[in-house]
Structure 1
Amino acid sequence: MVFTKIRQQGGAMVVTIPRDMALQMGWQVGTRIALENDGDSLSLKPAKRTPRGRLTLAELLGQIDSEEIATLNQSISDQDDYPVGKEV
């Protein structure tokens, strides 16, 4: 068992995790940690990312606005000028 002290840093209380313990957990600077109050103890776990959900290709294609695509294509076609430099 390792002991550490709570210290003040600005308006927060900070506990230092010994480097070897953090490395054993696969943690590094910047790792997001979830804190959970377990009565008289505190648990630290890697924070789980909340999945945003995935769309199928058909769902993605169904979100395309054909008028917006036509406007975009028109604006790009205005840029079809002759070369002005040493383009190949």
Structure 2
Amino acid sequence: MSITTKIRKQGGAAIVTIPPAVLKTMQLEIGDQLSLEMSEGELVVKPLKSAKKRYKLSELLEGKDAMSRLNADVAWATEGDPVGHEIS
């Protein structure tokens, strides 16, 4: 895939726009970090591999109480015998 883009100025920075099709193909999102390297007079842009997010136990357990309440609220639906043509 070859795409032409221009360098433009925004504030004091030089900006290069990456088209949405390139972002999608490379599985990149706004905010992802890129590595810029010079190689034989060419600019090489590579995505930086982000480390997997590590969660604290407290983060993993967030919402646990709400889910327990929801399960208790719908427990009636799993109790008792079928009353119609339910699939069991």
TM-score, length basis structure 1? 0.52
In 2: Cα distance, 1:39 partner to 1:12 partner = 24
The CA distance in 2 between the partners of 1:18 and 1:48, in whole Å, is 20
**What is the CA deviation profile of residues 11-53 of structure 1, one whole-angstrom value per residue up to 9, with x for unaligned ones?**
110100110011100101000111101132111111245x7xx
Structure 1 residues without counterparts, runs of 5 or longer: 52-88
Q: Report the AA paired with residue 4 of structure 2.
A: F
Farther-moved stretch of structure 1 (38-47 vs 16-25): 38-47
Unaligned 5+ segments in structure 2 are 52-88
Equivalent position SS for 2:40: coil
What is the aligned-residue identity percentage? 40
Which structure 2 residues correspond to residues 5-84 of structure 1 after superposition, within 5 A?
5-49=6-50
> How high is the TM-score relative to the length of structure 2?
0.52
For 2:28, the aligned partner's letter is W
Please tell me the residue identity of whatever aligns with 1:12.
Answer: A
CA distance in 1, matches of 2:45, 2:13: 17
* Count of equivalent residues: 50
